[in-house]
Structure 1
Amino acid sequence: MARIALLGTGLLGAAIGRRLLEQGHSLKVWNRTPEKCQALLEAGGQAI
């Protein structure tokens, strides 16, 4: 699968990130407020 970086994990970014992880993609995430990345990190994403 694709390796994807997601910058911004607000309402839209988080939904996109969850979907990408469900589809098996490798996801790296960043948000200026690190706490907002937590759900995607727990779901299998990696912090940038």
Structure 2
Amino acid sequence: MKGIFDRFEGDYAVIEIDGQTHDVSNSIVDAFIKVGDVVTYGSQNRLK
């Protein structure tokens, strides 16, 4: 699944997928993510 990283909100990263936002735990987000990055939900349950 691919989306666009929008922002951090507390313990969550907000990802836009198909025009809707989804909150995912910061624990699965790559440390080097930046606003506007295209992210992929990887096979190891991490966004990168």
**TM-score, scaled to structure 2:** 0.27
Identify, as 1 or 2, the structure richer in strand: 2
Identify, as 1 or 2, the structure richer in helix: 1
